[in-house]
Amino acid sequence: MTKKQSLGRGLGALIPQMIPEYSLEDKEVNEPSKLAEEGILKLPIDRIEAREDQPRKKFDEDSLNELKESIIEYGIIQPIVVRKISDNYQIIAGERRFRAAKLAELEEIPVRVMEMDDQSIKEVALIENIQREDLDPIEEALGYAQLMEDYSYTQKEVSERLGKSRSYIANAIRLLGLDPEIKDALRDKLITPSQGRTLLSVKNKEERLKYLEQFKAKTLNIRDVEDAVRNSNDTAKTKKSSKKSKKNETESIYKKDMENRLISHLGTKVNIVEGKKRNYLEIDFISYEDLERIIDIIER
């Protein structure tokens, strides 16, 4: 499976282009009744099975019932994508529609039969899962991270696959670095992803959780936190600068004292020179006789 085709318009933008369809004349798929539209068949629902390694494990019951009512009224608008496994067909994409169709007690459902290997199916299923509208921000971020881990994608390649900007993917993944309490608030939609990313800039955990509660209570906005972080950073820089200044002042006094002691002891001008890699002494002497004198003093 190539990495460069976009899924920004949905799985339909990927699957028909990538995988050859079974022909309607193919003996293997000529058994079920056919729809008029080329490439789409109707299969008995009892010949379709879900995959055990489907990344989506939980299906909201209320949402399934709503879809069931829609199917009863309008039918299945978008066919389920399947592949042939022995005498049955395995779902590649569309398990939620399949489950709702079973609840609606349909006997046949429209499908598109494709040829895909196990690795390709896992990737398509993962991408389909990421494209769900009901994902919370943490589920979405975990999906991007899983694509990067399982298929060695870069953030740029994930953005190309899903038709989203690189910055969108990067910002989503950043949320995984939040504290568990903040992730839970994102899952429960008590705060927004923008508020979550703002909390990432707060270095102190106790302050992060304090701002989290204020976000949840709607007594604080993003600008307030940004201003607080900026002021805190400015204060820290001022303290650091002041501390460095005091340190330099102390070192300067210490250095001058040692120079004066050496001058007094050797009877000549002495400078302590601090270099990038090493330090050294500069000792002045008038003549070699004066140097002999200085050496005598040092050797005593």
Active-site option among 21, 31, 49, 95: 95
Measure the CA–CA gap between 66 and 51, rounded to whole angstroms: 23
Measure the CA–CA gap between 115 and 54, rounded to whole angstroms: 17
Give strand pairing partners of 283.
270
Residue 133 catalytic? no
Cα dihedral sign, 9-10-11-12: negative
Q: How many CA atoms lie within 13 A of 84 on its CB side?
A: 15
Measure the CA–CA gap between 168 and 137, rounded to whole angstroms: 12
Measure the CA–CA gap between 8 and 131, rounded to whole angstroms: 9
Measure the CA–CA gap between 255 and 248, rounded to whole angstroms: 10
Residues labelled catalytic: 95
